[in-house]
Structure 1
């Protein structure tokens, strides 16, 4: 079950953390993976790790907010892998140029990076692969999002949340437009992930865990396994859904 043999999958932001976990699990399920990251060294490392496991992957470093670069890189990777992209996981979502402040302290130029990445970056990736899915009458679009899209939080992330809210709305319309062509589109809203351990002191992590019933942070390969299901033939009846994958988090 959940085999992805003979499918090509594009995973954006796959050079580390959750994206890396997703890319590796999809490859283990049989997909040939286009490993995207803004930084070439990260994309190449993950692609090499996948190949070392005996699976297929190519590194595709490009900026998803640049449509022309996205289209060029994806076409080149598809040519190398010998097919069209059937699965896309839009994971890239944390802009390097983000400014973490309350909205009233942000300058208008600070609004753009998180919104461009989460909305236009995701739309660019979908646009360049959607025609191939339409022609094949089969495709899977998986959008990684966050509980922040639907829950107000006093954590100085209003622009990130705005981007996630916007792309969630788009995905629901995409699902409605394309379901008749065998193309599904779903949203995975993640909770707190293990990469926070690199950014926060242990005492802060302990406080966060108090609001997570499973008592731990999320694991990238668990997210990857969930994406493998959504990418599979068996998930063909599920589309237009926002699925919380957050350990039962009460704080989101």
Structure 2
């Protein structure tokens, strides 16, 4: 099950954390993976790790908010693998300025970055690969989101939450448009991940029913399922991956 041999994947923001876990997991199931990151060195490191383990990967650095750069990067991946992208995982979502803070204290100059990377970044990437998926009669779109899209908090996440809410809505509508062509589109909404450390993180983890934060491997496993042939009847859904911290 979950065999991705012969498939080609693009994972954005894959140079670290959950994105790296997704890239490793897809490669382990046989996919050739284009490892994207804004920082070339991070993309190269993850790509080398995958190839050292016997997988197939190439580093493809570009900024997902730049449509021309996305098109160029996808073209490079297509040339490297000699086939189109079958699987898109849009994981990039944390800009240099996260825009965290109480909304009424935020200067308007900080409003755009979270929306650009999460919503327009997804649009840039999806628009560049979707026609070839539909023409081939098979494709998988996996959007990484956050519980912040549907659960409010007082932690200064209004901009990030708004951006994630927007992209979840976008994916739901796209899923309906491309379903007749054998292409699925789903969202993984992540809970807190293990890219932080310290007593504060331990205290947060203690409040999660599983008593731990999520790992890159947890996210990778869920992404593999959504990218697999076995998930052909799963589309238009938002799956919560959060250790039970929010249930539906």
TM-score (norm 2): 0.98
The answer for the alignment partner of 2:101 in structure 1 is 101
Consecutive unaligned residues in structure 2, runs of 5 or more:
none
The answer for the alignment partner of 2:33 in structure 1 is 33
The answer for the alignment partner of 1:186 in structure 2 is 186
Q: Given that residues 92 and 117 in structure 2 are in contact (C-alpha distance below 8 angstroms), is that contact kept between their aligned partners in structure 1? A: yes
Q: Given that residues 99 and 160 in structure 2 are in contact (C-alpha distance below 8 angstroms), is that contact kept between their aligned partners in structure 1? A: no
SS at 1:185's partner residue? strand
- The answer to whether residue 73 in structure 2 is matched with residue 77 in structure 1 is no
Q: Given that residues 175 and 186 in structure 1 are in contact (C-alpha distance below 8 angstroms), is that contact kept between their aligned partners in structure 2? A: yes
- 1:76-114 deviation line (CA, Å, top 9, x unaligned): 111111100000001001111223211001111100000
Q: Which runs of 4+ in 1 moved over 4 A?
A: none
- Please give the alpha-carbon distance, in whole angstroms, between the structure 2 residues aligned to 1:99 and 1:237: 37
Consecutive unaligned residues in structure 1, runs of 5 or more:
none
Question: What is the Cα deviation at residue 40 of structure 1?
Answer: 0.2
- Please give the alpha-carbon distance, in whole angstroms, between the structure 2 residues aligned to 1:182 and 1:55: 26
The answer for the alignment partner of 1:237 in structure 2 is 233
- The answer to whether residue 154 in structure 2 is matched with residue 158 in structure 1 is no
- Please give the alpha-carbon distance, in whole angstroms, between the structure 2 residues aligned to 1:190 and 1:222: 10
Question: What is the Cα deviation at residue 250 of structure 1?
Answer: 4.1
SS at 2:220's partner residue? helix
Q: Given that residues 211 and 250 in structure 1 are in contact (C-alpha distance below 8 angstroms), is that contact kept between their aligned partners in structure 2? A: no
- Please give the alpha-carbon distance, in whole angstroms, between the structure 2 residues aligned to 1:14 and 1:128: 18
> Alpha carbon RMSD of aligned pairs, Å?
1.0
